[in-house]
Amino acid sequence: MTARYGGFPGARPRRLRTTPAMRRMVAETRLHPAELILPAFVREGVSEPVPLASMPGVVQHTRETLRKAAAEAVEAGIGGIMLFGVPEEAKKDAVGTPGTDPDGILQVAIRDVRAEVGDDLVIMSDLCLDEHTDHGHCGVLDAEGRVDNDATLERYAEMARVQADAGVHTVGPSGMMDGQVGVVREALDGAGYQDVSILAYTAKYASAFYGPFREAVGSSLKGDRKTYQQDTPNAREALRELELDLAEGADMVMVKPALPYLDILRRIADAVDVPVAAYQISGEYAMVEAAAANGWIDRDRAITETLTSVRRAGAGMILTYWATEAAQRLNRGE
């Protein structure tokens, strides 16, 4: 057979897969600790961390263990931490008062983490009411029990101010209210926080994979979020959300969940010139952990493969509950 260099047998893609060194050299996508962001839960009024049954390895932190986790995250070289507060059940109400109380658990946690790590980690906070409301919705309700978009925006503006007062670097409005990014930007600027950035949950889909998160934040939600979060079949709609978020002043944009929405991630990454993040959510974490616990998949390889896929699809940053562990492994050269 004569060698035909435009095709087989001259051309053999397998040549570039022959050794680990060769594969490493030609890898098109690399993971780096700095692009990983750790979502972390802190629960008010607990003296020991509370393990989450549906997220083995993840806990609701006490204030003290959260500080330790933040220090460990810095040590591992990860980029940021996204904080979620879990207030005492009795403090939740219809308008989510703990979310705007300067002494609410999330604000306390932001101050704690800022005191612990300063600027060594980008400190981010969830800007949403669902952890703080007794009905579990991401906003306040109108007389008919529907989520009231514009009344909710006023609450978000207040949340932005108290989170910034507490020392957060970046807020993450995650409620999918129309106009939320603009209102948050205005509130921050009006309070002198021009340097506090916004990571917009731009394309956030109503997903079954949030299930374990609801346990993680002790959510009181009955029903679903389909009137505000996006509908799974829609992709163009994500581009419309993107356009609006950018016009309203989003500094960074996010797609969520990650793995079931890689096509959305790719379209958004191709369309923007701001940093793009993806959130590998609780259910994505739980699936891998559960299958691994059964011996059905190789846990560490599955983690690396999912993170690499999300990165390859266009995410410059990944929120993942494995952030610190994955970074530690990367640091060891694994």
The length of the chain, given as a count of residues: 334
- Distance between CA atoms of 306 and 320, rounded to whole angstroms? 10
Residues 46, 218: Cα–Cα separation, whole Å: 13
**Residue nearer to ligand PBG on the CB measure, 75 or 158:** 158
Least Å distance between CB 72 and ligand PBG? 20
Smaller CB separation from ligand PBG, 112 or 130: 130
Which phi and psi angles does 18 have, rounded to 5°? -70, -35
As measured in angstroms, the least distance from the Cβ of 73 to ligand PBG is 17
Helix runs in the chain, H state only: 20-26, 63-76, 105-117, 149-166, 180-190, 211-216, 236-248, 262-271, 282-293, 299-312, 323-331
> Closer to ligand PBG at the Cβ: 221 or 271?
221
Least distance (Å) from ligand PBG to the CB of residue 96?
A: 11
Contact criterion met (CB below 8 Å) for 79 and 35: yes
Which DSSP category does 145 fall into? Answer: S
Q: Which is the catalytic residue, given 92, 204, 222, 226?
A: 204
CB-based contacts of 282, cutoff 8 Å, min separation 6: 54, 55, 209, 210, 211, 212, 213, 216, 321
Tokens 């604000």 -> residue: 107
CB of 267 to ligand PBG, least distance (A): 21
In whole angstroms, the minimum distance from the beta carbon of 210 to ligand PBG comes to 4
Q: Per DSSP, what are the bridge partners of residue 198?
A: 171
Q: Vertex 207, ends 153 and 238: CA angle to 5°?
A: 60
Instruction: Measure Cα distances from 207 to 17, 267, 277 in Å.
Output: 37, 19, 18
Residues forming contacts to ligand PBG in the complex (CB under 6 A) are: 126, 128, 130, 138, 174, 210, 213, 225, 281-282
Phi-psi region of 93 (alpha: psi -120 to 50; beta: other; left: phi over 0): beta
Catalytic residue status for 256:
yes
Nearer to ligand PBG, 9 or 57 (CB): 57
**Among all chains, which residue has been given the structure tokens 């020991």?**
48
**Is the CB of 177 or the CB of 327 nearer to ligand PBG?**
177
Task: Give every CB contact of residue 116 below 8 A, 6+ residues apart in sequence.
Answer: 67, 70, 71
Which residue of this chain has its Cβ atom nearest to ligand PBG in the complex? 213
We find the least distance from the C-beta atom of residue 213 to ligand PBG, in angstroms, to be: 3
Catalytic residue list contains 226: no
Give me the least distance between CB of 320 and ligand PBG, in Å please.
Answer: 9
Q: Which is nearer to ligand PBG, 79 or 85 (CB)?
A: 85
Closer CB to ligand PBG, 164 or 319, in the complex: 319
Catalytic residues: 204, 256
